[in-house]
Amino acid sequence: MNAPAQSLRTPTRLDIGLMIMTSLMLASGFIAVRFAVPETGPVWLAAIRVGIGFLVLLPYAIWRGMVWPAGAAQWMLIVGMALLNVVVPFILIAWAGKAVEASVLSLLMGTGPFLALIGSHLMTDDDRLTPRKLVSVLLGFSGIMVLVGPSVLSGLAGSSLMGQIAALGASFCYVAAGLLIRRIAMPPVRLAGLALAIGSVVLIPLALITEGLPTEGYSGPVIGSLIFLGLFPTGIAYILRFSLIRTIGYTRFSLSINLVPVFGVVLGVLILGEPLSVNLIAALALVLAGLYVSSSGKKS
């Protein structure tokens, strides 16, 4: 029997600050992925960042006392959530990072709120699509088409287009996982730690099978990027993500992802020197317009 979802509250100023912090950490993670993935490979990058993130949370879980799932149904929810929230999206993001610029990655990952609106409409009875929400979805996907369109014209087999599709797939995984989190009866930090533990158990053998043991040591910048990825966008951001979803709901939390494209584009341009193309600016404007529409107006 599934645990009842925790009752939600209106976001406080602290919640909003934590949402902004989470979005900044998630956006900065795409920069670290771009640095590290050429040396590590996508599966090892995912495995290492998850392993470090788990080690970050483990002391707290031991100190507070680990809480285990109550029954097979909860175990199934947690395993499914871990696959959708850790294993699959981390591999997809790392693989996309080989060919897709960090600014584009963050923009595509910023489509999560639109996917969340659709998912909530299909899977809940009290969060249905309204005309305002539908406009926001159309604006968001218009932005995606502006960004992806030139790649489509240049050939469907292009590696950049496939990387963009992988990033969209990762965003979809996060939405599906977010719809499961509130159905799991476990304190957020312990839940995040268990999800990362399951992810490590899956990803490390998968990395050995698909990419083999690393034959050479990683460079200093790559090691630093991996530590950063595990500590901030994985460990700390996952604590904040799980806590906020449980207290203010996934739909509200997902709207904070509107800052991921902004932070990602700015960081990509400033740190990596990525080009700020007209298509990218237009796509960003459409995505942000859609997010503004979805979060404005009378709240239900």
pLDDT digits (tens, 9 = 90+) for 150-185: 554 444 344 477 888 888 889 888 888 877 876 787
Domain that holds residue 204: 13-113+157-270
Is residue 277 situated within a structural domain? no
Is residue 141 situated within a structural domain? no
pLDDT digits (tens, 9 = 90+) for 130-154: 777 677 777 766 776 676 555 544 4
Cβ neighbours for 291, distance < 8 A, ≥ 6 positions apart: 110, 113, 136, 140, 255, 258
Cβ neighbours for 168, distance < 8 A, ≥ 6 positions apart: 108, 111, 144
17-26, 48-57, 236-245: least confidently modelled range: 236-245
Q: Which residue has the tokens 């999560």?
A: 112
C-alpha distances out from residue 144 to 106, 136, 161, 248, Å: 12, 13, 11, 27
Is residue 293 situated within a structural domain? no
How many domains does one find in the chain? Answer: 1
Evaluate if residue 127 carries a pLDDT over 60: no
- pLDDT at residue 227, rounded to an integer: 94
Question: Identity (one letter) of the amino acid at 89?
Answer: P
Alpha helices in 83-187 (DSSP H): 88-97, 102-109, 112-123, 131-153, 159-181
φ, ψ dihedrals at 299, nearest 5°: -85, 140
Evaluate if residue 220 carries a pLDDT over 70: yes
Is residue 185 situated within a structural domain? yes
Phi-psi region of 7 (alpha: psi -120 to 50; beta: other; left: phi over 0): beta
Integer Cα distance of 121 and 125 in angstroms: 7
- pLDDT at residue 43, rounded to an integer: 94
Integer Cα distance of 257 and 188 in angstroms: 19
Is residue 262 situated within a structural domain? yes
- pLDDT at residue 291, rounded to an integer: 65
Query: How large is the average pLDDT for residues 56-72?
Result: 81
4-8, 15-19, 66-70, 186-190: least confidently modelled range: 4-8
Is residue 97 situated within a structural domain? yes
Is residue 66 situated within a structural domain? yes
Is residue 288 situated within a structural domain? no
- Spell out a b/e string for 168-185, using b for 16 or more CB atoms within 10 Å of the CB, else e: bbbbbbbbbbbbbbbbbb
